[in-house]
Amino acid sequence: MAAGLPVVITDWNGYRDTLEDGVQGFSIPTLAPPSGNGDDLAARYRSTRYSYGGYIGRTAQFTYVDANAVGEAYTRLIENDDLRKQMGAAGRKHAVEKYNWTVIIPEYEAL
């Protein structure tokens, strides 16, 4: 976004909070097992048996990203220059307003 380009992200983990779907880019539907599944993975991570990377890697194996939606998002961006420019500009504005250090540091201090 900071580069002024539209983005395509999965709507899981922290990514879902980084953009407004259809404004700065596209958020792709992602499915994961119901809550409570994977408690064993979390327990192994908490016990340091798994590193963070190991935990995320194993968790990702149970996560499904809608490949058709990914293709549709990229096709829309490839075929529509105006959409790319509009989303890119909105993304740049969003990145400056939300992720600039002058914004982030006071939020950390308040936390």
Q: What is the pLDDT of residues 6-25, one digit of tens each?
A: 999 998 778 888 999 999 99
Query: Tell me, what's the pLDDT at 36?
Result: 83
- How far apart CA 88 and CA 83 sit, in angstroms, is 8
Per-residue pLDDT, 32: 82
Decide if 89 is inside a domain: yes
Over the stretch 55-102, which tens digit does the pLDDT of each residue have? 888 888 888 999 999 999 999 999 999 999 999 999 999 999 999 999
pTM (two decimals): 0.76
- Mention every residue, 6+ apart, whose C-beta is less than 8 A from residue 84: 5, 6, 77
Q: Which domain holds residue 56?
A: 7-110
| Residue 1 within any structural domain of the chain | no
Q: Is residue 2 part of a domain?
A: no
With respect to residue 21, please indicate whether it lies within any of the assigned structural domains. yes
CA distance linking residue 11 with residue 26, whole number of Å: 9
Roughly how many angstroms between the first and final C-alpha of the chain, as a whole number? 25
**Per-residue pLDDT, 56:** 85
- Into how many domains does the chain fold? 1
Q: Quick check: is 38 in a domain?
A: yes
What separation in angstroms does the CA of 99 have from each of 17, 26, 77?
12, 18, 24
For residue 106, name the pLDDT band (cuts at 50, 70, 90). very high
Express each pLDDT in 25-51 by its tens digit: 999 999 888 888 888 888 999 999 999
Question: How many Å apart are CA 89 and CA 13, to the nearest integer?
Answer: 25
